[in-house]
């Protein structure tokens, strides 16, 4: 495989994947429509290294409207990371946006892929499809019980991918990411909010009692799993894999860990629970280890320190502008 298309290339995970693929010698086409879910300027900064590389091409456009046959010309593998994120904002009137950006865009991309004989289609799914774990690690064979419209939209996208894999022969891999964190994380995500509040001397907002447990996965580990999925020979026409960090913590403990990395004692402000915010996530990684050779390497302490360092640099850079 020589050329890879990365959708959502300017986002948190997508931009790290682009950098990693370029370092590995791939030609990369990065597609992004720079929505205003968060700052388009931040997304462009995410791609600053990639834009300086000859083997990178940026395609600005919306998957709902682009000529995807032309976009996939010469592409051998697709890493489809584009989509509308966020559990809290998926309720209510914005749900049609989730259907468009998580389901319809995926179907359009698969339709073009099925016409062009694509070698590999890798989809960035989410642990949100499982809902809350019932006191133990959840395997890929576990029941899909999403607790939010966002999670439901990811289930729907997985079903569409399975259909195109079975009926149209698009070889596909579903990667179910568990709470990804690290440099470039979106500003509304928990760790980014905690860091920003502590650095600003403000109370940290914790939704619920803070005892919610999360499987935390550092972005570099997620990227390695995604590259492995692009390079591995498919076991089936469509195959799902959990991508977790092998480390769980509570939300309250995570706040204290961030405070320790910054050198401040955080003040917490408890807020009502958010609909769709599950009690526990926990990944069974046995299949990913066995079939993808996946082995998360970055500890939670190391990862949090890296994100804090990045946030401090970003904060100083923006202050100079």
Catalytic residue among 150, 177, 181, 218: 150
Question: What is residue 175's three-state secondary structure?
Answer: strand
Picking from 134, 108, 140, the residue whose alpha carbon sits closest to that of residue 121 is 108
Cα–Cα distance measured from residue 310 to residue 321, given in angstroms and rounded to the nearest whole number? 17
Q: Cα–Cα distance between 294 and 241 in angstroms, integer?
A: 10
> What phi and psi, each to the nearest 5 degrees, are found at residue 64?
-75, -20
* pLDDT higher than 80, residue 218: yes
Q: Chain-wide mean pLDDT for the chain?
A: 95
**Burial of 95 (C-beta count, 10 Å sphere; 0-12/13-18/19+):** middle
Give strand pairing partners of 121. 78, 172
Which two tokens mark 66? Answer: 């682009």
2 in Cβ contact with 27 (< 8 Å): yes
The 10s digit of each residue's pLDDT in 261-288 is 999 999 999 999 988 899 999 999 999 9
Distance between CA atoms of residues 135 and 227, nearest Å: 31
Residue 134 has pLDDT above 90, yes or no: no
At the topology level of CATH, where does 3-178+219-245+282-297 sit? Rossmann fold (3.40.50)
Q: Tokens at residue 313, please?
A: 């640099």
- Residue 304 and residue 261 in contact, taking contact as beta carbons nearer than 8 Å: yes
Mean pLDDT value of segment 235-239: 91
Average pLDDT estimate for 208-219: 96
Average pLDDT over residues 87-94: 93
Residue 272 and residue 274: Cα distance in Å, rounded?
A: 6
Given the structure tokens 């079975």, which residue do they identify? 166
Longest dimension (CA), the chain: 57
Q: 125 by DSSP, 3-state: which?
A: strand
How many whole angstroms separate alpha carbon 110 and alpha carbon 93? 27
pLDDT band, residue 135 (cuts 50/70/90):
confident
Tens-digit pLDDT profile for residues 163-193: 999 999 999 999 999 999 999 999 999 999 9
Does the annotation mark 98 as catalytic? no
Task: Average the pLDDT over 84-110 and give the result.
Answer: 96
Q: Which of 97, 147, 106, 141 is nearest to 124 (CA)?
A: 106
Q: Which of 19, 91, 42, 33 is nearest to 64 (CA)?
A: 33
Strand order in the sheet with 247-250: 180-181, 213-218, 247-250
The confidence score (pLDDT) of residue 116 equals 87
d(C-alpha 76, C-alpha 120), whole Å: 7
């Amino acid at each position: 495989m020589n050329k890879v298309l990365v959708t959502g290339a300017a986002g948190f995970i997508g931009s790290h994947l682009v950098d990693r693929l370029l370092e590995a010698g791939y030609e990369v086409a990065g597609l992004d429509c720079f929505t205003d879910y968060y700052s388009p300027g931040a997304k462009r900064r995410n791609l600053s290294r990639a834009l300086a590389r000859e083997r990178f091409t940026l395609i600005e456009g919306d998957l709902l409207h682009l000529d995807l046959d032309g976009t996939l010309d010469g592409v051998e593998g697709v890493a489809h990371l584009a989509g509308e994120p966020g559990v809290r904002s998926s309720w209510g009137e914005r749900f049609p946006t989730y259907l468009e950006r998580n389901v319809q865009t995926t179907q359009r991309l698969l339709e073009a892929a099925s016409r062009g004989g694509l070698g590999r289609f890798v989809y960035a799914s989410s642990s949100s499809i499982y809902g809350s774990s019932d006191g133990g690690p959840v395997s890929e064979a576990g029941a899909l019980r999403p607790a939010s419209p966002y999670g439901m939209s990811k289930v729907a996208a997985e079903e569409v991918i399975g259909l195109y894999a079975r009926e149209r022969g698009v070889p596909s891999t579903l990667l179910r990411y568990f709470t990804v964190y690290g440099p470039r994380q979106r500003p509304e995500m928990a760790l980014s909010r905690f860091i920003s509040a502590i650095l600003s001397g403000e109370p940290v907002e914790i939704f619920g009692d803070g005892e919610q447990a999360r499987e935390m996965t550092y972005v570099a580990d997620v990227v390695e799993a995604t590259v492995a999925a692009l390079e591995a020979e498919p076991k089936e026409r469509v195959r799902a894999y959990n991508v977790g960090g092998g480390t769980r913590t509570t939300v309250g403990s995570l706040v204290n860990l961030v405070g320790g990395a910054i050198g401040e004692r955080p003040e917490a402000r408890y807020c009502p629970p958010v609909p769709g915010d599950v009690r526990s996530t926990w990944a069974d990684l046995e299949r990913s280890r066995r079939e993808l050779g996946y082995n998360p390497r970055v500890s939670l302490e190391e990862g949090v320190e890296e994100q804090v360092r990045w946030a401090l640099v970003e904060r100083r850079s923006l202050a100079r502008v």
